[in-house]
Amino acid sequence: MLALNNLAWMLRERQPRRSLAYIRRAARLMPQEPMVLDSRAVIEHLNGNSVQAALVIQQALKVDPDNPSLLYHQAMIRAAAGATEQARSQLEQVLAGHAEAFPEREEAVALLSSLQGGG
């Protein structure tokens, strides 16, 4: 079932609609798996489904509230939805609270810079 998640993640940028079908199927099979919920939130976001993306990332954070990747993705979704101040504040907290590397740390720094007017 995680194979569906991985396939959806690999297709997310080149074939976002196809990716969405796979990740929704994975989410039906594993509705409480944070990795699947995270992937679904990002893929919903890439497909322009902002409200759904926000709901799904909140679900993921209920299961794994301190995961810096999930928090970054929530900030990314918030920023895209126009909640710039919330996104900026969240990114500052994530980056300060997670000095160690996480997979999207560089992207989080770049997003924060752009939200602060530096990018």
Give the per-residue pLDDT at 70: 96
Checking if the pLDDT of 40 tops 60, the result is: yes
pLDDT tens digits, one per residue of 52-74: 999 999 999 999 999 999 999 99
**Average pLDDT across the chain, whole number:** 94
Give CA separation, 60 vs 29, 90, 119, in Å.
Answer: 15, 16, 29
pLDDT tier at 111, thresholds 50, 70, 90 = very high
Give the per-residue pLDDT at 98: 73
Give the per-residue pLDDT at 99: 67
CA separation for the pair 34, 12 (Å, rounded): 17
Burial string for 55-64 (b: 16+ CB within 10 Å, else e) reads: ebbebbbeee
Checking if the pLDDT of 118 tops 70, the result is: no
**Residues 78, 106, 50, CA angle at the centre, nearest 5°?**
20
Residue 22 in 3-state DSSP? helix
**Residues 26, 30, 35, CA angle at the centre, nearest 5°?**
80
